[in-house]
């Protein structure tokens, strides 16, 4: 446990260092308002990374999150056009997202198909459904009501609602993972699925619940995304699922399952968010941004590998180790 | 006649276990030598020494009078030793010919694989053992018996002189077994030295020329099959002395707790009936693969039986999942603890409380203090050695991991605890602790089922022993009949001596 915490501290330090470096050339970047903007910009990535982290924890992966986001966002926009009240739209977006997640989860649970294959398929299907619903047409800003667009941007106590939603999700899922039996069973299922079965845990059901959480968060983010950017079309958040997985990996979530924390996933997402927001400010080309994000992933994976090597069984007595 | 291959003074140990101690073995050209011994006698270890997978600490391996060393599996293969295992180690996606020649395929002048030579060579080898398989078939489309033929053809393709057959009949049908016997005759006629490992006495008497008996990793005796009787071999296998010391038992047996009636599974077991009482330790003995673990897994809700009823305290309980089994008061400590018992990445206390979380949490939230209290209670009783309950389970020794797994189940306050090979692979000290603890549990009124393949343990710990063979209960042994001979005869299907 202490190694994990240390790792998260290291990541936080790396983020601060990055911000500090940028600040030497562009001091305005560290102004509170600017940092709030970075956090707000990174919110969709954080929300999806939380869901993805739980799915990865159970030895699965959800590649359909971005497509799920786009579909739920489109449905939210269409419901808005049909005059459905905003609270109902919010509930519907989360419910639809969770239902799409349940489709993934049920295929993994009941048919035993590897999650990477299932979600690779549903990723394309969900985008296809958007096209079928709209014939590829866009829903633009003038077709959305003002309150629909205003909610994510509304500022409460100095923070936009989108940021508050993200903070609430971080708190909620930290409690879920560390303080409830369901959270514990996510770790058990990923740590050793066979042993989990023998312990009376229904592995498939637990994995399905993880997919539903990931899907529900994607649905919520779908509304936030469409409302914030005031546009919905087939290809929004295209390829975003890879950034989400990257955030988890950088945050120390073990891709083999069973290890990781919400804090890690959030820090991983923030790391990517800072790179994406800070580097353009200092005038570094987008290609270098990609190279830096990529290097961060490789470094994180090397770090994970080194860690699992040192955590092997200690056979030598301490004095023999010292020699 | 001089042996082709000869082992002398071979010893091999693993942490806490002496797997082989000063054993010897001779194999002769054109003869079948049967290696006989109980589970855990060291048969698989000697096969691994012969095939270069394990290196013995002491002893010599001599081939045709020249001492050699097998540092790697390749060395053994080059020296002409080859093994055919229970589950053949071949590649389903490759063709028969490719499987036969993998790693030493004939080459063309350009250094490429010569497919024609490979095909023809495979055909020739298969014909020489009387098989009519098409070398171009995909291996995965063949049955187990045909796969054995391919494995043997592969062995012959390397000019093997010593062929080890490790329980080759375990997965074969009656007809296929007879074909295998014919094949062994063919190999004998070709002058191969054959080591035949089997649990089954009828097979051994049918095809072996000589026998070697191991017991507890030691050489007991050898001789010509023609001079041996079943009685003598059983005697040699089980020995006379029970040298382990078992804790005293209270034998305070109470009312029936678990009654199993007419329990059957389509493929694994049939017509299982038994009653387990409060305070009793009921032993389940049988050869590996007799269906004991399968019955226990069905009782624990892992597999679904097709027929039969389970009663706990006279009430019929339907068990469709492990969750329902735990709720009914049945818990199962599996044999393969690394895979099925321990979650090595989680801390000790989280492993212990995993099935008891509904009891340690309040209104849906975990209470860590309560979890620590529960795990401390049970791990202390088992004398667990760990620096802290927050330590990762994977950092503990095997014996201590075993204690954590047992603590986990006791913490659910079960009525019935099923221990599958509870002392397999743990050191002597931990073994004694587990035995003592089992006696304590029974004395406290828990009903215990112990599945074990170790005869001393079964006899030393059980009040009664049920013997299974081929998925059925063959015998229930109590009182004066609880002797090693009775168990071995029942398990192997040999009539009792008059």
pLDDT given at position A312: 44
- List of domains in chain B: 5-238 (3.40.50.300), 256-492 (3.40.50.300)
- The answer to whether the complex's ipTM is over 0.85 is no
Locate A249 and state its tokens.
Answer: 């990996």
Across chain A, what does the average pLDDT equal? Answer: 89
Would you place residue A322 in the very low, low, confident or very high pLDDT band (cuts 50, 70, 90)?
Answer: very low
- The closest CB to that of A313, out of B357, B364, B395, belongs to B395
Rounded to the nearest 5°, which phi and psi values hold at B267? -125, -15
Residues A99-105 have a mean pLDDT of 97
Which of A151, A150, A132 shows the shortest CA–CA distance to A78? A132
Q: A112 vs B425, which has greater pLDDT?
A: A112
CA distance A12 to A10: 5
User: Crossing angle of helices A240-250/A262-281, nearest 10°?
Assistant: 120
Residues B61-68 have a mean pLDDT of 90
Which residues form the domain of A86?
43-247
Inform me whether the C-beta atom of residue A259 falls under 8 Å from chain B C-beta atoms. yes
* Chain B residues with beta carbon closer than 8 angstroms to that of A188: 343, 346, 350, 354
Inform me whether the C-beta atom of residue A15 falls under 8 Å from chain B C-beta atoms. no
Which of B426, B423, B37 shows the shortest CA–CA distance to B247? B423
Residue A299 lies in a domain: no
Inform me whether the C-beta atom of residue B390 falls under 8 Å from chain A C-beta atoms. yes
B15 vs chain A: nearest CA distance in angstroms?
11
pLDDT given at position B34: 94
Residue A142 lies in a domain: yes
Burial class (CB in 10 A: 0-12, 13-18, 19+), A3: exposed
CA distance A254 to B71: 37
Q: Give the strands of the sheet with B281-286, arranged side by side.
A: B330-333, B416-420, B447-451, B281-286, B464-469, B472-477
Across the A:B interface, residue pairs with CB atoms under 8 Å apart total: 81
B336 vs chain A: nearest CA distance in angstroms?
10
Contact A184 B350 (CB under 8 A): yes
* Chain B residues with beta carbon closer than 8 angstroms to that of A181: 357-358, 361, 364, 366
H helix or E strand, kind and range, residue B294: helix B292-299
Contact A198 B332 (CB under 8 A): yes
CB-CB contact of B212 with B36 (8 Å): yes
Would you place residue A320 in the very low, low, confident or very high pLDDT band (cuts 50, 70, 90)?
Answer: very low
A69 vs chain B: nearest CA distance in angstroms?
30
Query: Any idea which of A161-175, A243-257, B14-28, B422-436 has the lowest mean pLDDT?
Result: B422-436
Would you place residue A109 in the very low, low, confident or very high pLDDT band (cuts 50, 70, 90)?
Answer: very high
CA distance B82 to B130: 20
Contact B361 A188 (CB under 8 A): no
CA distance B410 to B223: 49
pLDDT given at position B19: 83
* Chain A residues with beta carbon closer than 8 angstroms to that of B350: 184, 187-188
What would the pLDDT profile of B77-86 be if each residue is shown by its tens digit?
Answer: 888 888 887 6
3-state SS, residue B66: strand
Q: pTM here?
A: 0.77
Scan for tokens 């009903």, then name that residue.
Answer: B447
User: b vs e for B350-381, b when ≥16 Cβ sit within 10 Å of the residue's Cβ?
Assistant: bbbbbbbbeebbeeeebeeebbbebbbebbee
CA distance B191 to B82: 15
Residue A286 lies in a domain: no
Which residue of chain A is at minimal alpha-carbon distance from B333? A198
What would the pLDDT profile of A209-259 be if each residue is shown by its tens digit?
Answer: 999 999 999 999 999 999 999 999 999 999 999 999 999 999 989 888 998
What does B118-160 look like in DSSP terms, one character per residue?
HHHHHHHHHHHTT----TTSBGGGS-HHHHHHHHHHHHHHTT-
CB-CB contact of B119 with B153 (8 Å): no
SS3 string of A189-209? HHHCHHHHHHCCCCHHHHHHH
Which residue of chain A is at minimal alpha-carbon distance from B391? A1
Locate A66 and state its tokens.
Answer: 């971005």
Task: Using the predicted structure, report yes or no on whether residue A321 has a pLDDT greater than 60.
Answer: no
pLDDT given at position B288: 74
Inform me whether the C-beta atom of residue A295 falls under 8 Å from chain B C-beta atoms. no
pLDDT given at position B171: 66
H helix or E strand, kind and range, residue B329: none
**Count of domains for chain A:** 1
pLDDT given at position A315: 45
User: Crossing angle of helices A32-57/A240-250, nearest 10°?
Assistant: 90
Residue A139 lies in a domain: yes
Residue A169 lies in a domain: yes
Residue A35 lies in a domain: no
CB-CB contact of B376 with B389 (8 Å): yes
Residue A119 lies in a domain: yes
Residue A301 lies in a domain: no
Chain center to CA of A308: 24
Residues B285-290 have a mean pLDDT of 82
- The closest CB to that of A200, out of B322, B334, B339, belongs to B322
Contact B334 A201 (CB under 8 A): no
E-strand stretches of A138-222: 155-156, 159-160
The length of chain A is: 323
What would the pLDDT profile of B94-138 be if each residue is shown by its tens digit?
Answer: 999 998 888 788 888 888 888 899 999 999 988 888 788 899 999
Task: Using the predicted structure, report yes or no on whether residue A309 has a pLDDT greater than 70.
Answer: no
Best mean pLDDT range from A282-291, A297-306, B279-288:
B279-288
A197 vs chain B: nearest CA distance in angstroms?
7
The residues that bridge with B8 in the sheet, in sequence order, are: B60
Query: Any idea which of A132-141, A208-217, A312-321 has the lowest mean pLDDT?
Result: A312-321
Best mean pLDDT range from A69-83, A283-297, B68-82:
A69-83
């Amino acid at each position: 446990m202490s190694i994990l915490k240390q790792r998260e501290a290291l990541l936080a330090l790396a983020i601060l260092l990055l911000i500090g470096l940028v600040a030497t050339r562009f001091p305005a970047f560290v102004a509170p308002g600017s940092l709030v903007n970075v956090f707000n910009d990174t919110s969709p990535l954080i929300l999806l990374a939380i869901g993805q982290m739980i799915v990865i924890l159970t030895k699965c992966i959800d590649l359909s999150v971005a497509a799920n986001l786009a579909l739920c966002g489109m449905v939210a926009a269409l419901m808005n056009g049909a005059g459905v009240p905003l609270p109902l739209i919010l509930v519907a977006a989360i419910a639809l997202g969770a239902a799409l997640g349940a489709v993934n989860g049920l295929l993994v649970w009941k048919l035993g198909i590897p999650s990477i294959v299932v979600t690779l398929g549903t990723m394309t299907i969900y985008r296809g459904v958007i096209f079928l619903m709209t014939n590829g047409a866009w829903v633009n800003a003038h077709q959305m009501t003002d309150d629909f667009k205003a909610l994510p941007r509304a500022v409460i106590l100095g923070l936009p609602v989108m940021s508050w939603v993200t903070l609430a999700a971080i708190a909620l899922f930290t409690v879920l993972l560390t303080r409830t039996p369901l959270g514990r069973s996510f770790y058990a299922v990923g740590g050793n699925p066979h042993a989990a079965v023998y312990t009376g845990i229904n592995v498939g059901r637990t994995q399905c619940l993880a997919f539903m959480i990931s899907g529900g968060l994607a649905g919520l983010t779908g509304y936030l995304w469409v409302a914030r950017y005031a546009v919905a079309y087939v290809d929004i958040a295209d390829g975003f699922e890879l950034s989400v997985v990257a955030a988890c990996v950088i945050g120390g979530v073990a891709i083999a399952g069973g290890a990781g924390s919400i804090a890690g996933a959030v820090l991983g997402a923030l790391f990517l968010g800072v790179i994406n927001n800070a580097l353009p400010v200092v005038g570094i080309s987008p290609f270098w941004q990609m190279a830096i994000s990529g290097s961060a992933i490789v470094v994180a994976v090397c770090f994970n590998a080194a860690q699992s090597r040192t955590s092997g069984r200690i056979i030598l007595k301490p004095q023999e180790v010292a020699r | 006649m001089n042996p082709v291959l000869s082992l002398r003074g071979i010893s091999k140990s693993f942490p806490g276990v002496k797997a082989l101690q000063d054993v010897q073995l001779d194999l002769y050209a054109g003869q079948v030598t049967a290696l006989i011994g109980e589970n855990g006698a060291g048969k698989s270890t000697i096969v691994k020494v012969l095939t270069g997978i394990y290196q013995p600490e002491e002893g010599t391996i001599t081939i045709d009078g020249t001492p050699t060393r097998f540092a790697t599996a390749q060395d053994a293969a080059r020296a002409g030793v080859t093994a055919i295992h229970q589950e053949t180690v071949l590649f389903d996606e490759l063709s028969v010919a490719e499987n036969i020649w993998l790693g030493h395929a004939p080459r063309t002048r350009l250094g490429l694989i010569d497919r024609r030579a490979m095909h023809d060579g495979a055909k020739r080898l298969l014909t020489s053992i009387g098989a009519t398989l098409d070398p171009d078939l995909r291996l995965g489309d063949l049955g187990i018996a045909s796969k054995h033929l391919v494995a043997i053809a592969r062995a012959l393709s390397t000019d093997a002189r010593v062929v080890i057959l490790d329980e080759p009949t375990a997965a074969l049908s009656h007809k296929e077994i007879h074909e295998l016997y014919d094949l062994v005759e063919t190999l004998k006629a070709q002058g191969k030295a054959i080591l035949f490992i089997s649990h089954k006495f009828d097979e051994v008497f049918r095809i072996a020329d000589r026998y070697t008996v191991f017991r507890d990793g030691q050489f007991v005796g050898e001789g010509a099959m023609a001079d041996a009787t079943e009685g003598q071999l059983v005697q040699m296998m089980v020995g006379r002395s029970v040298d382990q010391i078992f804790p005293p038992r209270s034998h305070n047996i109470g009312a029936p707790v678990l009654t199993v009636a007419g329990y059957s599974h389509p493929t694994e077991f049939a017509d299982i009936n038994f009653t387990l009482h409060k305070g009793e330790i009921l032993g389940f003995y049988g050869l590996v693969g007799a269906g004991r673990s399968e019955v226990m897994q069905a009782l624990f809700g892992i597999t679904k039986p097709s027929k039969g009823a389970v009663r706990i305290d006279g009430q019929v309980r339907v068990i469709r999942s492990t969750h329902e089994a735990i709720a009914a008061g049945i818990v199962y400590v599996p044999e393969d603890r690394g895979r099925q018992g321990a979650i090595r990445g989680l801390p000790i206390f989280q492993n212990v409380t995993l099935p008891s979380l509904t009891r340690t949490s309040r209104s849906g939230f975990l209470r860590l203090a309560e979890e620590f209290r529960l795990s401390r209670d049970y791990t202390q009783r088992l004398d667990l050695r760990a620096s802290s309950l927050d330590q990762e389970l994977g950092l503990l020794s095997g014996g201590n991991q075993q204690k954590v797994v047992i603590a986990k189940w006791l913490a659910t306050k079960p009525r019935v605890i099923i221990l599958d090979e509870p002392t397999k692979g743990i050191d002597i000290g931990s073994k004694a602790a587990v035995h003592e603890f089992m006696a304590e549990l029974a004395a406290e009124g828990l009903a215990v089922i112990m599945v074990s393949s170790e005869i001393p343990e079964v006899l030393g710990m059980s009040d009664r022993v049920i013997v299974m063979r081929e998925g059925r209960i063959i015998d229930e042994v109590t009182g004066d009949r609880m002797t090693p001979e009775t168990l071995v005869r029942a398990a192997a299907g040999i009539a009792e001596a008059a």
